[in-house]
Chain A
Amino acid sequence: MAKDPQSGARETSALRTGTSEGHGEMAALMRTCDWSQTPLGPVETWPQSLKTAVNILLTSRFAMWLGWGPELAFLYNDAYRPTLGLKHPWALGTPFQSVWAEVWENVRSRVETVLSTGEATFDQDLLLFLQRSGFPEETYHTFSYSPLADDAGHVSGLLCVVSEETDRVINERRMATLRDLSSAIAAANTEPELMSAVGQELGANQKDLPFSLVYLFDRDGDAVSVKVPGLLSEHPAAPERIAVGQDGPWPAAEVYAHGEIRIVSDLAREEVGELPHGAWDRAPVKAAVVPIRQQAQDKPAGFLVAGLNPYRGYDESYSGFIELVAGQIAAGLSNARAYEEERRRAEALAELDRAKTAFFSNVSHEFRTPLTLMLGPVEDMLSHDGESDSNANSDMLAVVHRNGLRLQRLVNTLLDFSRIEAGRTQASFEPTDLCELTVELASSFRSAMDRAGLQYSVNCEQLSQPVFVDREMWEKIVLNLVSNAFKYTHEGDVTVRLQERNGRAALTVIDTGVGIPAEQLPHVFERFHRVEGARGRTNEGTGIGLALVQELVSLHGGQVHVTSQVDAGSTFEVEVPLGSKHLPQERVGATRGLTSTALHADSYVEEALRWLPGGGEEAPPDAAFVNGNESDAMRTVSLDADSDRSSVLLADDNADMREYVTRLLSSRYHVRAVANGEQARQSAIADPPDLVLTDVMMPVLDGFGLLKALRSNESTRTLPIILLSARAGEESRIEGLDAGADDYLVKPFTARELLARVEAHISLARMRREADEEIRQKNEELIKANRELEEFAYVASHDLQEPLRMVNIYTQLLVRMSDGLQQKPEAREYASFISRGVHRMEDLIKDLLVYSRVVHHDEEGAPTADLNRALNEALTVLLAVIEESGATVESGPLPTVAGDERQYALVFQNLISNAIKYRRKGVAPLVRLSAEQVDSEWRIYVDDNGIGFDPRQSERIFGLFKRLHKEAYPGTGLGLAICKRIVERYHGRIWAESEGEEHGSRFTFALEEGTT
């Protein structure tokens, strides 16, 4: 290296200048350095180009180093010092390969490229594990190596301009995790969703979180491991549960008690086992245990264990990151728990709502019994009115009656609501001439409107098509709206209009009444809302009518609107779509399942009339019935029938009810009243009445129990039974009729209704009895005729056998005895034809005999049959056939069933010989018998590998003389008919299955378990 004192002096001065100008520590250090001890030699000997480069280096604020000479002696500036860490100042003048021995292999090729080609390199964010802080550290660098030429122009060194990107890269990575975690947590509603999001996001950052665990404290303070993908679980380091007060692998107790962050730095312990490495080539040696805090609670909800990157120190940024992660989990958890709480509350509310609906239902139920007890006697008394009581009394009774009816109406309306609420309303949408129906309903109010001095017009135009409505519901819609208009209109007019508009039927009810204040309008369809201060004809009202209208209209897929102006009037408009597409199809044309709550127009009108001054004194139009004519007629009938009174058994635990019903019925029937189902059962069986009238809810034995008991007793099986119940729900009714009740009366019922039903069922039963008797006689005749026929078949077949035998024997005798005939081959052939015919016919007759004997002889048979023995018997008979055909018959164990063994032997014999007979050509027959218990019956299977049959024939097979394969297989066609007959004698079933021709067959007979 050439020495140039001048340039050396300049350079020295440059170095000096650097110092004097405050160029920093490195310049000072380099000045004081004894360069003669380094490969570079004394500064005076440095080539100019090196000095220039050093000058640039030292004066730059950008991190740089340069390597000079064959060993690339290392020179660097102040900005580069942090990258060197502990290697400063030792690195100064040290060969590059020693300074960065740990990354030499990573950069070697770059260095060599630059030195040999003189071309610069560039790397961005290159990961280098630098050993500068006492451990290999994950660092990132963006740098460029450029060549440095000596004074002669030869490349003698390289200059590296570098910027360390470690913080940026790692921060970006952590930010990404925090960002993703935050959005994943935001999308999670429940705790499991949250945890799975946490696992997924933490698991995605394997560099900062080589492993992580989450524990949540339960109510007792035990820490419970969260098991989701991405979080460590089912590992020695992740016990499922850490009991309260215990630490386990992690300081759980401490975190629980103090809620502080702990660093665990002895992860090499054996008890935690081999930990996951994450993105690195070795496992973390430390972990941070961070509490997951919960708002306003001193105890943490749990804790996060984060395995720490072994190539990073646990600095502020790292701990900040992990705490932020824990913070996010804590926030997510508190949201999830709040959400859960919310959901529980919503469920509780829904439960409350259901309870409310049930309450409605119960209330209406509770009302019905006393209502019956009120209304019934009143009607009864009113009907006797003409006889003795004074008018004053009857007036009072009428008041009671009307109020009772009103109560009934209320109860029914409530019930309507509870049904709608419970989703139990079952509309029956039928195509209806809506014009006609609406006119009819609206017109019922005419007299009331007239009497109130109101103009009443009903304009219904004929619609282009029938409208699908539930008539009962439509009735309630119309009557409620008209009644409402009537109630709030003191003068002027009420108009009811029906039009077709845009594919909808529009019902408009317009009044000139008191109107509704604007602020009240949004609420008129709310339940129990009553417009305050409205001047109606009455203050009575449930506030439920319009709400009901709205519910009913919406069930029709329609809408109801109101417009109104105070003191000018209101207009209610109902729109229902035409056609039926908008309706639930299963309810279109469906039968009505629910007890009707329809009250009919009269009830509305009757009530409306009472709102008029003096209205109550007028007899309501439908009050006629209570005034007696009909009841008189009934009494006359009952007197006529007195000599031959029918008896009614009444079961009700309510003494009032018993007394009341007894009184109602006793004029026409003998009534026996008992207080519970058990008494009724005993009484009915001891002396069957003509009809049973029973309450449903009773102690000891309830109505359904009674029903069941009576239906299962022979003497009371067909008794007409009417259930009386306060439960008006559809289920009750279906339950009642399904259970075999003849009818079902819902309380409150009227006297008339009760009498009518009782009478109807008694006469129905009488007719049925007569019809039964007739049928029984016919049946007996038939049975007799049948028996005779069977006798005849037996005798006839026997008698048929005789001549046949003769035909055969004498044919043989003839051939044998006549020399002439014996010589002729045709004669022998003809004789054989005759013989064959005879044998065939004999088989036929034999089977017919058996067939008729199935009826004749089975009664004397043993009560139980061991089918194994029956099978053996059959096999004995079939021995020759089986041997001849090479058939195999296998059988599993068979049960013992009711019936005659010999008969079953016959069944087996026929089925097996059938299976053998219909074998496939060239295939040895295989018959398998097996038994299986299915529910309460035994199924005996006879499977074969024979020719099978077309499944479409499976019904025909058992018919008399039904032969499916006539040509190829001989047989009488009676065998299976015999089987069927026998099996059916024992109340069993027999059927055949085959997957088709050539696929074998399965014959199955099924017998009730019975005596086994």
Chain B
Amino acid sequence: MTSPIVLFLAEDNTGDVIVIQQALKKQQLDFEMFVAEDGEKAKRLFERAGKDLPPPHVILLDLNLPRVEGSELFSSVRENPLLGDVPIIVVTSSAPPSEEGWAQRLGVTHYFRKPSDLDEYLELGAIVKRVVKGQRVQ
């Protein structure tokens, strides 16, 4: 019996939160998910990691959050010594930047573009599972 996977999710759309939960459930993952609904809350959430909250195994980040720019959220993750190595999955409805090498530069493990088909969306669960698995092996 392993401890549940800890996920941080920065997502303002409750609908997406529910679908993501569905996706994780479908993978029969035992998970504990902390959700922030805007940028400010997300920053505060990240600060609590390893303090009053367990450190996450993976962070799911929507870059189009209200109040704080996506890049700033990235910094707040990367500049936090406790979160520095946590894999980040970007979950967003926007197209990825055209700039090359951005994913390595920002340390993005996966870029998940929110699909409008349910089954495609549910694929996210498998992705999370794979990322976490890799993380744990390391």
* Chain A contacts to B: CB under 8 angstroms: 798, 801-802, 804-806, 808-810, 812-813, 816, 838-839, 842
Structural contact, A816 and B118, CB atoms closer than 8 A: yes
For residue B52, CB closer than 8 A to chain A, the reply is no
A805 to B113, CA, bound (A): 12
Chain A contact residues, majority secondary structure: helix
Asked if A813 and B19 make an inter-chain contact with CB atoms under 8 angstroms apart, the answer reads yes
Are A802's CB and B19's CB within 8 A? no
CB pair A806 B13 closer than 8 Å: yes
Is the beta-carbon distance between A802 and B118 smaller than 8 angstroms?
no
Q: Is the CB of A809 within 8 A of B118?
A: yes
Chain A nearest CB, measured from B42 CB (Å): 18
8 closest A-B pairs by CB: A812-B118, A805-B116, A808-B116, A806-B15, A809-B118, A802-B93, A809-B19, A813-B118
A842 to B121, alpha carbons, bound, how many Å?
A: 16
Given A798-B94, A809-B121, the answer on whether A804 and B19 have CB atoms closer than 8 Å is no
**How far apart are the CA atoms of A479 and B114 in the complex, in Å?**
92
Question: A802-B13, A808-B116, A839-B116 are known contacts; what are 16 more A-B pairs with Cβ within 8 Å?
Answer: A801-B116, A802-B93, A804-B116, A805-B114, A805-B116, A806-B13, A806-B15, A808-B117, A809-B15, A809-B19, A810-B15, A812-B117, A812-B119, A813-B22, A816-B118, A842-B116
Asked if B115 is at the interface of the complex by the 8 Å CB criterion, the answer is: yes
Chain B contact-residue range equals 10 to 19
Determine whether the beta carbon of A838 is less than 8 Å from that of B116: yes
Report the minimal beta-carbon distance from A780 to chain B, rounded to whole angstroms.
29
Tell me which residues across on chain B come within 8 A of A810, comparing CB atoms.
Answer: 15
User: Hey, which chain A residues are within 8 Å of B94, CB to CB?
Assistant: 798
Contact A805 B118 (CB under 8 A): no
What is the distance, in angstroms, from A834's C-beta to the closest C-beta of chain B? Answer: 11
Residues in A whose Cβ lies below 8 Å from that of B114: 805
**A984: min CB distance to chain B, Å:** 23
A834 to B94, CA, bound (A): 23
B93 lies within 8 A of A801 (CB): yes
A666 to chain B, nearest CB (A): 63
Q: Chain B contacts of A838 at CB under 8 A?
A: 116
Nearest CB in chain B: distance from A279 CB, A: 94
Interface centre among B19, B118, B121 (most CB of A within 10 A): B118
Return the chain A residue nearest B118 by Cβ: A812
Residue numbers of B with Cβ under 8 A of A are 13, 15-16, 19, 22, 93-94, 114-119, 121
- Residues in chain A near residue B119, CB distance under 8 A: 812
Residues of B within 8 A of A816 (CB): 118
Whether A809 pairs with B13 at a CB distance below 8 angstroms is: no
B69 CB to nearest A CB, Å:
15
B16, chain A: closest CB distance, angstroms? 8
Which of chain B's residues has its CB closest to A857's CB? B98
Minimum distance in angstroms from B45 CB to a CB of chain A: 22
24 contacts between A and B (CB under 8 A): A801-B116, A802-B93, A804-B116, A805-B93, A805-B114, A805-B115, A805-B116, A806-B13, A806-B15, A806-B16, A808-B116, A808-B117, A809-B19, A809-B117, A809-B118, A809-B121, A812-B117, A812-B118, A812-B119, A813-B22, A816-B118, A838-B116, A839-B116, A842-B116
For residue A813, which residues in chain B have a CB less than 8 angstroms away from its CB? 19, 22, 118
Residue of A at shortest CB range from B15? A806
B22 to chain A, nearest CB (A): 7
- Report B-chain residues with C-beta under 8 Å of the C-beta of A806: 13, 15-16
B residues within 8 A CB of A805? 93, 114-116
Contacts of A842 in B (CB 8 A): 116
CA distance A111 to B114 in the complex (A): 125
Q: How far is the CB of B70 from chain A (nearest CB, A)?
A: 14
A422 to B114, CA, bound (A): 82
Q: Which residues of A contact B22 (CB under 8 A)?
A: 813
Roughly how many angstroms separate A802 CA and B4 CA in the complex, as a whole number? 31
A813 to B121, CA, bound (A): 11
Q: A535 to chain B: closest CB distance in Å?
A: 100
Q: How far is the CA of A816 from the CA of B119 in the complex (A)?
A: 11
Q: Which residue of B has the minimal Cβ distance to A805? A: B116
Quick one: which of B19, B114, B116, B118 has the most chain A CB within 10 A?
Answer: B116
Instruction: Tell me, in angstroms, the Cα distance from A798 to B94 when the chains sit together.
Output: 8
Chain A residue with the shortest CB-CB distance to B19: A809
Report the minimal beta-carbon distance from B118 to chain A, rounded to whole angstroms. Answer: 4
Q: How far is the CA of A816 from the CA of B115 in the complex (A)?
A: 17
A799 to chain B, nearest CB (A): 10
Query: What's the nearest-Cβ distance from chain A to residue B2, in Å?
Result: 28
Which residue of the partner chain A has the closest CB to B95? A849
Contacts of A808 in B (CB 8 A): 116-118
CB B63 to nearest CB in A, in angstroms, measures 12
- Please give the distance in Å from B96's CB to the nearest CB on chain A: 14
Chain B nearest Cβ from A902, distance in angstroms: 9
Residues of B contacting A798 in the complex (Cβ-Cβ under 8 angstroms): 93-94
Give B119's nearest chain A residue, CB to CB. Answer: A812
Nearest-neighbour CB distance to chain A for B35, whole angstroms, equals: 17
A806 to B119, CA, bound (A): 13
B-side contacts of A839, CB under 8 Å: 116
CA distance A804 to B117 in the complex (A): 11
Tell me the bound Cα distance from A806 to B11 in angstroms: 14
